[in-house]
Structure 1
Amino acid sequence: MTEATSVIRAYRTQDTFSNQARQAAVWQRIAAEAGPVARPTRQLPLPMPRRRLARVLRAAAVALPVGLGSLALWYNQEQRFQTAFGELKTVVLPDGTSVLLNGNSVLTYQRGWGKNSREVWLQGEGFFRVVHLNTDPAHIKPTERFVVHCHDLSIEVLGTTFNVHNRRKKVDVGLVSGKIKLTDTAAIAPTSLVLAPGDYVEYAAHTITAKQKLAHPEKLTTWSKRQFVFTNARLVDILQTLEDSYGYQIKYADNAIKQLKIEGEIQVTGVAPLLEIISTSLHVNIYQNGKQIIVH
């Protein structure tokens, strides 16, 4: 390198040239005077001392459980889907099952979902279309079961469509198609109830009410089309829907007004038409200021 540097400096003192042939000849002379470049000899790594090797193995033994613990933490991490007031959202689970969430609802499940079981937790309202995995009803594997948890009520299904309404410490379950089994897991002697298409039950205070038969179970999901459908409903039940799913604040001038009932069926699309029907049918005055509704 020293010889090459001295040669280059010597040529730099000469006149600048532009002829390519002349330039090539100069570089040949530089290469001849500098001589061949010696390549460094590659050294093999020295063996690790025994004491250091022992420290590395001990560190690896500590790191392995920590890594496995981190993997388990990631595997059990909660997946959470939430809707705002008035928002509808479809959640597709890893097995293809779809859940349409109503406004102000939360659906959760663990990241490792489907490996050992198919379990979800619902707060609010959702319509489930569960993918059918089992082909032998007499032998159902744990990974083939699908369970929805609502507080202390478990809803077990194989492949079906149903609606779950879980608000104000009360769970309403309506089955559109298929078969589901409800179980009160908090009871000393857990009780179960099997529903057939069209069945509708309520669960509150650790009690499952007697089954009702719905003439039109498909009306359970009218909310998915932003429709309001009520049959012989009390005013408080109608307006609670606006509170729970749309975030309205309802105030009554008199508590007795809450118990007023509209006979027959209401089926409208939109909040404004609903309030107009309530005012006309019950002869009450309704004032709306943004998200606040006053009834008197």
Structure 2
Amino acid sequence: MDFSKYTHYTFEDFLNDDAFLSFVVEQNVSDVLAWEKFKAAHPHKSKIALAAFDTISTYRQQKVFSNEQAQQSLFEKISGSITAGEPKIKKLSFSPFFRVAAVFAVVLLSAVLYFTLLSKDAVKTDYGMIKTIVLPDGSEVTLNGNSKISYAANFDDGPREVWIDGEALFRVKHINIDTNHIRPAEKFIVHCGDLNIEVLGTTFNVKSRHEKTSVGLLTGKIRVDYDDVNKRRMQFVMKPGDLVKHTEESNLVHQKIVNPQRLTAWIKRQLVFQNASLEEMIGVLQDDLGYEVVLSDKKLGELTVEGEINVVSVKDLLQILSATLHLNIKTYNKKITITK
């Protein structure tokens, strides 16, 4: 069994992976040897992997009963731990269904406890909201509207890992001493969709929405790990000015950008577009600012405005679109209707 794909798994990912579930249940000799090598090679992931392993093992042991007497014995133990110290009023008789349900509830509680012990702090922004947070290592992350970041509450036990859904600007603190010998705790890894970004100390912008991810590098150097269309794990090292785009259905697309600072114009609440289609601009209005945009014809989304647009308000953007693309645009509260 190949455990290499589990290097970026969360606790929930392990529990939802059929191959991992089968391994825990069956534990073939060859798989166990590979499992031990995986834990030795990835000590930062061992705690989460072992927690998932133990949770699955506990569930399997507690939900299977060889006979009614064993089931009754286990249920009485659970009931006794819950009611210890309380006066007994009446002994209740439960059907086998409720006994199994009670056992499952205990197992579920143990899973929750495991997850709590390995809990991640999370920050979410509303539409149109921009917020900067400081991570436990001193790195800064600025979130765009309608974005969420979660990260380990403690960066002491392994690499610095964060998970992003939406858009964010990262300013990563440089903590490694020797770049040729990087310890696990010195790594900084960003998870977004099925793409992972590994950095040491740098500034980059990540946008991950609708199963599409784009990464723009402003300063420093980062490595992007991703799956190509044939599900092979690939790597790409980015330099300042690089922009990469990736989806599950396509290979990594790389391009150079003249002015990387344009990627972070949203921090100043600017709406900046370069040779953008109407569909791209609508995406920003909906995803970042929470507008509902209705097109009378989907083909309108293919219209493109050549050159650069740089405005500070939605009203100014709509005026430009109306004039340059000859569109009829009406707004009502947070709903925008566009017709030809």
Change (3 A) 1:198 1:251: same
- Equivalent residues in 2 for 1:253-264, closer than 5 Å: 253-264=296-307
Q: Specify the alignment match of 1:167 in structure 2.
A: 209
1:241 pairs with 277, 284, 289, which one? 284
Shift of 1:77: 1.2
Instruction: Identify the match of residue 276 of structure 1 among 319, 325, 334.
Output: 319
Could you tell me how far 1:256 is from its partner in structure 2?
1.6
Alignment partner of 2:174 out of 114, 132, 137: 132
CA RMSD, Structure 1 to Structure 2 (Å) = 2.0
Alpha-carbon distance, 1:286 to partner: 0.4
Cα 1:265–1:136 change in 2 (3 A) is same
Match of 2:328 among 282, 285, 288: 285
The amino acid that maps onto 2:303 is L
Partner amino acid for 1:281? T
Task: Note the alpha carbon deviations across 1:255-281, whole angstroms, 9 max, x for none.
Answer: 121111101110011111011111011
Change (3 A) 1:167 1:70: closer
Aligned to 1:196: 239
Instruction: Please give the per-residue CA displacement for 1:98-155, whole angstroms capped at 9, x wherever unaligned.
Output: 0000000000012233421200000000000000011211100000000000011000
Give, in whole Å, the separation in 1 of the partners of 2:139 and 2:249: 28
Structure 2 residue aligned with 1:182: 224
Q: By how many angstroms is 1:88 displaced?
A: 0.4
TM-score, structure 2 normalization: 0.65
The alignment of Structure 1 onto Structure 2 pairs a total of residues equal to 230
Residue 153 (structure 1) aligns with:
195
Instruction: Verify the 8 A CA contact 1:88 1:102 in the aligned structure 2.
Output: yes
Identity of aligned residues (%): 43
Extract unaligned runs of 5+ from structure 2. 1-80, 82-110
Question: What does residue 19 of structure 1 align with?
Answer: none
**Residue 168 (structure 1) shift:** 1.3
Higher Cα Rg: structure 1 or 2?
Answer: 1
Of the structure 1 ranges 184-193 and 279-288, higher mean CA displacement relative to structure 2 is found in 184-193
User: Where does structure 1 lack aligned partners over 5 or more consecutive residues?
Assistant: 1-58, 60-68
Identify, as 1 or 2, the structure richer in helix: 2
How far off is 1:188 after superposition?
A: 4.2
Partner of 2:108: none
